[in-house]
Amino acid sequence: MKWGVVVFPGSNCDSDCIYTIQDVLKQPVETLWHQDKDLRGVDAVVIPGGFSYGDYLRTGAIARFSPIMKAVEAFAKDGGLVLGICNGFQILLESGLLPGAMLRNTGLRFICRFVTLRVERTDTPFTNRFERGQVVRMPIAHNEGRYTVDPATLKRVSNDAVFRYCNEQGELIDAANPNGSTACIAGITNSAGNVMGMMPHPERAAEPALGSSDGRLVFESMLNACAASR
């Protein structure tokens, strides 16, 4: 399975994603520059975290118009696997590939720490290696992570939430919602299930030395899904 990691000016988690795919999963990976117009035949695209285009105007607002995103949008509409992490999630929201938008954390602070997440769905290409209801640990590192969606859309997409912020017992309580996200949503897929965005960083939790290996399962799930579709 050939992976692609998109690099924008201001991306800063691209190397971590490449490391996870190449050194932890032992899979080939292509670096896709934001000015590229094609995806060089990759089987899955990862849009990493960072501050693409300096977060000017709104997070992800400028990145979504870069040449590579036209190719990513076509790839996603064709059923290709696309994972957006943190700023990558924000870019997917801006591009309309996922529903909703991001606002500043309710506490107005940049939050960088481990959080606990409840796995809501295991029938997606991104979570087939998890158990339903499993509580996992991954770090977040963001200032604009308050997932926001209007009530009507929430009704429609609630079932597409894949990860929700929770306490260690798996309960969805306000105290465990670090940024004020609607319905504690930390990660969500599109209705087709082939595009997922998540604020927590699975690539920063892919080896025991990093304090958690739970994030590795996201990448392994994608590997599984890709192998199964062949």
Partner 1 sequence: MLAKVTVKLKTGLLDAQGKVVKGALEGLGFKGISEVRIGKYIEIDLHGLAAPAAKAALERMCRQVLTNPVIETYHVEIESSAAKPIAGKSKKTARRRVLKASARRVKVRK
Contacting positions for partner 1 (CB under 8 A): 57-58, 61, 65, 93-94, 100-101, 103-108, 146, 148-150, 180
Tokens coding 71 = 């190719």
Q: Is 201 a catalytic residue?
A: yes
CA distances from 197 to 25, 87, 165, 168 (A): 20, 9, 14, 22
The b/e string for 19-54 (b: 16+ C-beta within 10 A; e otherwise) is ebbeebbebebbebebebeebeebbbbbbbbbbbbe
C-beta of 101 vs 172, nearer to partner 1: 101
The backbone torsions φ and ψ at residue 106, rounded to the nearest 5 degrees and listed phi first, read -60, -35
The least CB distance from residue 178 to partner 1, in Å, is: 13
The least CB distance from residue 104 to partner 1, in Å, is: 5
Q: Is 86 a catalytic residue?
A: yes
Residues 197, 89 contacting (CB under 8 angstroms): yes
The backbone torsions φ and ψ at residue 133, rounded to the nearest 5 degrees and listed phi first, read 85, -5
Quickly list DSSP for 11-66: B-SHHHHHHIIIIIS---EEEEETT--S-TT-SEEEE--B-GGGG-SSTTTTGGGS
The least CB distance from residue 32 to partner 1, in Å, is: 23
C-beta of 122 vs 148, nearer to partner 1: 148
The backbone torsions φ and ψ at residue 175, rounded to the nearest 5 degrees and listed phi first, read -65, -20
Say which residue the tokens 């890709």 belong to. 226
The residue annotated as part of the active site, out of 13, 17, 86, 166, is 86
The least CB distance from residue 25 to partner 1, in Å, is: 34
Tell me how far apart the alpha carbons of residues 187 and 122 are, in angstroms, rounded to a whole number.
Answer: 13
The least CB distance from residue 149 to partner 1, in Å, is: 7
Residues labelled as active-site residues: 86, 201, 203
